[in-house]
Chains A and B, each alone.
Chain A
Amino acid sequence: MSLPGQPLSSAFDEALAGTPAAGPRRDEGRSARREQLHLLVHSKTFIAGAIIVGFWVLCAILGEAVVPKDPLATDPLSDLAAPSGDNWFGTDRLGRDVFSRVIAGAQGILITAPAATLLGTVLGTALGLITGYFRGAVDDVLSRVVDAFLALPVVIVGLLAIVSLGPSKLTVIVVIGIVFAPSIARTVRAAVLSERELDYVAAARLRSERTPYVLFAEILPNVMGPVMVEFTVRLGYAIFVIAGLTFLGFGIQPPAPDWGLQVFEHYGLISGGFWWPVLFPAMAITTLVIGVNLLADGLTQAFER
């Protein structure tokens, strides 16, 4: 599982390694995991997704080291040049090389989207564990607040919060993370509701383990499957939302070579026939979201058997 673009597997391993659960149960878990891994490696959608996402992760890491031209270097004399042997994807309105900007542009979204999703998953999982385990009044109150939050589309809550706080990469990560938390909490809560009735939880409680231990060391490893699926599904959605916010000018800020930003800066020029500074970054986003969704689809099928 050393596929690039797959930071979850290590998180999953760590979470399991940190579980001082009894011997036999651990082995069982391990063989179940091996079976899931087997399913993953043989899933065509998962492999296809991993290759696409892996490509963009490589671009994000190597980025400026491999691109033919400096993605930030402007050249006012050759602005909006059509694609040619010299500039494969043409140049944009400031004469910057579109190909280099598309390759280097992977970085912004591939830092913000996974970071935001991770934050949302951590917060949402904690919230879901607590509401699902305690139920009663805590659950009722928190569920109401969650409902109120979910009544608004993510883009609009994000817009409102980012306008209030001022746009920056960090704001985007924190805002999207917090906005995602409630819906992740809902999924985790549903999984916890059935787990909490099982014998091992009762056993842990009878051993008079402390509640945080029961929650995070006993229940959490057993709901990791849904959490991982939720993470990848949400990752695709995070890319969707952050790209949208950036397109509106409230995400990643110029002069970063971000894809959404490139489309935003040039979409007005399409009617003048200048399609290349818009189409290529748009295609880059398309391949990335489709890749992430194929990954998510493969994971869902492997875990929900």
Chain B
Amino acid sequence: MLGLITLWLLSIVIFTMAQVLPGDVARSILGPFADESAVKVLRAELGTDRPLLTQYGDWIGGAVTGDLGDSQAFRRPVTEVLGPALQNSAKLALLAFLIVVPLGIVGGVIAALNEGRPRDRIISIGGLSATAVPEFVWAVVLIIVFSLGLGLLPSTAQFPDGSGPAEQVKYLLLPSLCLVFVLFGYIARMARAGTIESLDADYTRTAIIKGLPQRTVMRRHVLRNSLLPTIAVIATQTGYLFGGLVIVEVIFNYNGIGRVIFQAAQQKDFPLLQSTVLVIGVVYLVATLIADILYSVLNPRVRLGSAE
């Protein structure tokens, strides 16, 4: 329910930014020297001559029924442009998550077990620094090293049509690594904080005192508690992920949702832009919802607490 209210507010924010801020879209497409009558025709064609409330109603009404309007730049329905793009981006994001989640968790746990020692400092400061460096910097460094220097991996991500999974991974490895570098720090930091907290907890002390082997203590008592907040963080990072996708997909020439946004922005294709941003908002809210559900499934305290 709250998610729906947030979504509604989000749609108003997006609509305001895409339709109210730019002023006369038709005029800005045709330029300042275009004939007024031509501008009028384009305005009617785009529907921007109607009252704002009607335009908003149309957009939202359409979005609810799965019709996101027509893209001006691609001359096709927005849904047709977004469908394949979303699929491509999902592949890239999935590969990045498959690499970064285990890596981040292991890194964070190792840092926590060595709290304050050099190994912890290296992981913590290294992760923090990797996270702070913009994706395109990672991208050019990776391309220079692996593509130009060693000649191991391609410098574009768009795999040829009909290539098998292994071939696709080869093309997607460098772009997903850029996302991995940026995400690693967040996930490792959360895993580290969670592990340190549950290492200090009474139940861990009890488990050690009653003589359980260290391995069992770690698995059953420490990790089970410490990884809960990490799951929540991973979900919130899907929001960031889309921002990263824009840059990575542009630099690696990959036809995903990020590149669609970039092209829509370059060509001032506002219908495509606003619908894509709305879709991203929906994906983010769904991801946080899934994280909430997962969290309560894994955490009996939340599950039973709400039942009382």
Which residues does A use to contact B, with CB under 8 Å? Answer: 45, 144-145, 147-157, 159-161, 163-165, 236-237, 240, 243-244, 247-250, 260, 263-264, 267, 270-271, 273, 275, 278-279, 282, 285-286, 289-290, 292-294, 297
Contacts and interface: CB of A to CB of B under 8 A. Distances in A.
Contact of B128 (A153, A260, A271, A297): A297
Contacts of B134: 240, 243-244, 247, 260, 285, 289
A157 B14 CA distance: 8
A270 B265 contact: no
Contact of B14 (A160, A248, A286): A160
Contacts, number: 146
Contact of A263 (B5, B13, B140, B266): B140
A45 B6 CA distance: 40
10 contacts: A149-B13, A151-B239, A151-B284, A153-B239, A155-B243, A156-B277, A160-B277, A271-B155, A278-B144, A285-B137
Interface in B265-293: 265-266, 268, 270, 273-274, 277, 280-281, 284-285
Contact of B6 (A151, A161, A164): A151
Contact of A248 (B141, B147, B155, B246): B246
Nearest to B251: A267
A252 to B, nearest CB: 14
Nearest to B135: A244
A144 to B, nearest CB: 6
B148 A153 contact: no
Contacts of B244: 153, 155
Interface in B217-269: 239-244, 246-247, 250-251, 261-262, 265-266, 268
A285 B155 CA distance: 22
Contacts of A260: 134, 136
A140 to B, nearest CB: 11
Contact of A164 (B21, B128, B155, B241): B21
B207 interface: no
B128 A248 contact: no
How many chain B residues sit at the interface, stated as a range, is 35 or more
A173 to B, nearest CB: 16
Given A152-B277, A278-B144, 7 more contacts: A144-B9, A148-B13, A153-B243, A248-B262, A260-B134, A270-B144, A285-B133
Contact of A159 (B133, B136, B140, B261): B261
Contact of A165 (B21, B136, B281): B21
Interface string B60-103: 00000000000000000000000000000000000000000000
Contacts of A156: 242-243, 246, 261, 277, 280
A161 B247 contact: no
A138 B5 CA distance: 16
Given A148-B13, A270-B144, A297-B128, A155 B246 contact: yes
B201 interface: no
A276 B143 CA distance: 13
B10 interface: yes
A279 B144 contact: yes
Contacts of A243: 134, 136-137
B268 A144 contact: no
Contact of A152 (B21, B251, B281): B281
A199 to B, nearest CB: 31
Contact of A144 (B6, B21, B132, B246): B6
- The CB with the most chain B CB atoms within 10 A, among A164, A249, A289, is that of A164
A128 to B, nearest CB: 19
Contacts of A144: 5-6, 9
A77 to B, nearest CB: 26
**6 closest cross-chain pairs (CB), A and B:** A155-B243, A153-B243, A148-B9, A164-B21, A164-B22, A289-B132
B190 interface: no
Contacts of A164: 17-18, 21-22, 270
Contact of A286 (B128, B133, B155): B133
